[in-house]
């Protein structure tokens, strides 16, 4: 029997949740996703040292400020990833911008322009935005410009519906972080996989989208174990860490499809979710509100660490000598 990883590929698009170039070459995902935490990890790996030095050296020659250098580094890693996967590469907008629609739109356009200057068209890139109300509105603008978006840090059905109604190309509902919250809140060590709150959340979103005919792609993310991944076989896409990809690749047991689109769909259009209803849903759903805020904060902390690391390298890098006047 083929490995569970190969079986999973027949049910869902397998996406690598990493910027690790070696792991991507090994597991051959169709797409890959990154975020500030993964970019930080990638930048610290020996295999990526030459790439980072190249970006820093060019930035020193160009006199770029640190914010521009970080954008160029994220895109440079993304460009390398497009050479390893045939599909989409996700690059995330700074978490600190998550409540500023205009700033997110501006940053997304800048990232796409950087990709295009390196020969990678926008059809290969997904811009990742936090699924705040402002992030969803930014996605609405960008999608109209042909810039596809991945709305991340999705923890509730209301977030997911708002993203779909805005025309977002893809959403990333987080499985493991939901499970973490409920384990702590309920004093549980584990759940049977069919009772796992994170798994059930994604199943609910998937069924709702297919029932109502939303075209937005559902990509399960943030897995804590292989059983969670297997329980969502059949979801449009699943983004999985190298550790769990390796575990699935080594397991040759059976893996069965778990999610199927409903045979009957409703023709009733849903009322657009208002800003007030969206914001109240995040207050009323304590888990979703807390995990969204926490996720934004964590991504920003890793961005700040990357900022510190790259700024130190930039400072230590020799700048070109000034050319005497005359």
pLDDT value of residue 264: 78
pLDDT of residue 288: 98
Q: How much is the pTM?
A: 0.94
Mean pLDDT of 296-320: 88
Give the up-direction half-sphere exposure of residue 139: CA atoms within 13 A in the CB hemisphere: 31
Residue % of the chain over a pLDDT of 90: 82
What are 104-151's pLDDT values in tens digits?
999 999 999 999 999 999 999 999 999 999 999 999 999 999 999 999
Span of 28-32, 183-187, 209-213, 269-273 with lowest mean pLDDT = 269-273
What is the rounded CA–CA span in Å between residue 318 and residue 160?
48
pLDDT of residue 266 exceeding 80, the answer is no
- 71-91 pLDDT tens trace: 999 999 999 999 999 999 999
Q: Is the pLDDT of residue 325 over 60?
A: no
**pLDDT, tens digit, 9 for 90 and up, residues 191-237:** 999 999 999 999 999 999 999 999 999 999 999 999 999 999 999 99
Mean confidence (pLDDT) of the chain = 94
Percentage of the chain modeled with pLDDT above 70: 96
The per-residue pLDDT for 322 is: 43
- CA 132 to chain centroid, in Å, comes to 14
Q: So which residues are the catalytic ones?
A: 128
In the predicted structure, residue 318 carries a pLDDT above the cut 70: no
CA angle 277, 286, 269 (to 5 degrees): 30
Which residue did the predictor score with more confidence, 321 or 181?
181
Q: The tokens of 199 are what?
A: 């798994």
Check residue 268 and give its pLDDT: 67
Give me the pLDDT at residue 319, please: 59
Q: How far apart are the first and last CA of the chain?
A: 75
Range 4-316 has CATH code 3.40.50.2300? no
| Res. 101 pLDDT band, cuts 50 70 90 | very high
**Residue 267: what pLDDT?**
65
Average pLDDT over residues 29-52: 88
Stated as kind and residue range, the H or E segment containing 22 is helix 21-27
> Which helix (DSSP H) or strand (DSSP E) does residue 81 occupy?
helix 66-82
Domain residue limits, the chain: 4-316
> How would residue 38 be classed by pLDDT, with cut points 50, 70 and 90?
confident
21: its two tokens? 């170039």
| Residue 321 pLDDT exceeds 80 | no
Predicted confidence band at 324 (pLDDT cuts at 50, 70, 90)?
very low
**Mean pLDDT within 89-101:** 96
6 secondary structure, DSSP code: H
Amino acid 326: pLDDT: 44
Give the pLDDT mean for 247-251.
98
Bridge-partner residues for 91, per DSSP? 127
């Amino acid at each position: 029997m083929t490995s569970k990883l190969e079986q999973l590929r027949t049910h869902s698009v397998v996406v690598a949740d990493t910027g690790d170039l070696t792991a991507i070459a090994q597991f051959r995902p169709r797409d890959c996703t990154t975020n500030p935490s993964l970019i930080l990890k990638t930048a610290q790996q020996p295999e990526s040292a030459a790439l980072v030095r190249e970006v820093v050296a060019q930035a020193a020659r160009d006199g770029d400020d640190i914010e521009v250098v970080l954008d160029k580094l994220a895109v440079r890693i993304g460009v390398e990833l497009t050479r390893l996967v045939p599909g989409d590469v996700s690059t995330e907008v700074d978490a600190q911008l998550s409540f500023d629609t205009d700033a997110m739109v501006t940053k997304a356009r800048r990232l796409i322009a950087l990709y295009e200057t390196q020969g990678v068209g926008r059809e290969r890139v997904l811009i990742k935005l936090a699924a705040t109300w402002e992030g969803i509105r930014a996605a609405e603008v960008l999608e109209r410009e042909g810039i596809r978006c991945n709305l991340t840090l999705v923890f509730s059905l209301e977030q997911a519906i708002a993203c779909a109604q805005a025309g977002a190309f893809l959403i990333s509902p987080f499985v493991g972080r939901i499970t973490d919250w409920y384990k702590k809140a309920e004093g549980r060590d584990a759940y049977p996989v069919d009772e796992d709150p994170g798994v059930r959340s994604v199943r609910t979103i998937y069924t709702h989208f297919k029932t109502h005919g939303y075209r937005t792609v559902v990509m399960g993310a943030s897995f804590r174990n292989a059983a969670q991944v297997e329980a969502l076989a059949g979801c449009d896409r699943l983004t999985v860490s190298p550790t769990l990809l390796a575990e699935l690749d080594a397991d040759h047991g059976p893996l069965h499809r778990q999610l199927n689109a409903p045979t009957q769909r409703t023709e009733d259009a849903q009322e657009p979710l208002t800003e007030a209803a969206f914001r109240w849903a995040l207050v009323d759903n304590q888990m979703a509100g807390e995990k969204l805020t926490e996720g934004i904060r964590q991504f920003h902390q890793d961005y700040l660490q990357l900022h510190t690391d790259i700024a130190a390298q930039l400072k230590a890098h020799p700048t070109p000598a000034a050319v005497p006047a005359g």
